[in-house]
Amino acid sequence: MKAIDLAIGGKSSFSLVRPPGHHAGPAYGMGFCSFNNAAIEAAYALQKMQRVAIVDWDVHHGNEIQGNYNESDRVLYCSIHRYPFYSGIGSIKESGTGKGEGYSVNIPFPAGSGMQLYSRAFNAIIIPALKSFKPELIIVSSGHDALSDDPLWGMKLHPEDFGNSLRCSPTSHPFLLYVILKEDMEGQMDWLPEKSLDKRRRIRITNRRCVFG
């Protein structure tokens, strides 16, 4: 909550959050997620402002961020993710319902996608959507599991790509960067080599520099 308050006050904020959250529902955990951090913080922010955007580039679709705000026109949810894949939803056809129609922007990519496709998605879809929506706050759910050397998820990003994606986001609004840490990013899974852990540390450093300059 403190990070949100700082961002609302005009100070960019960087949060290291564990466990991750975008699969957790209001009354249940899912996919190693206990609390839906981005969704909770968006709800908190909406008590103080009208429009919040969430940009999620975790390799998995944030099914319960979308689920929480599927019928809302006050939250714009943009997700780049591998599809078809866990959590089973996130097709381009899912765009919200009722008042929320058009406020869920899903960009599904196949396995093996790299920064060329991500960059196109930012420039052609996400940035125009953010500019049209005019959010008062942007929350970035920055999962790191799209890294090229992650043995499980099959995407082709590199540490600097996360910073480049962050630089693409409009900077005229208070900015909350939400870095979602998973177990492998804290060195607690022995199948990840030290070199891979170093890359995750580099992402955190790059993201902090993008936020704070």
C-alpha–C-alpha distance, residues 34 and 29, integer Å = 5
Residue among 23, 61, 81, 173 flagged as catalytic: 23
Task: Kindly state the DSSP code that residue 151 receives in the 8-state scheme.
Answer: T
Q: Which helix (H) or strand (E) holds 66?
A: helix 63-69
Contact (CB, 8 A) for 118 and 92: no
Catalytic residue at 23?
A: yes
Q: Which of 59, 55, 24 is nearest to 133 (CA)?
A: 55
- For residue 164, give both structure tokens: 């480049």
Sheet bearing 137-141, strands edge to edge: 13-17, 175-180, 137-141, 52-56, 75-82, 104-109
Residues belonging to the active site: 23
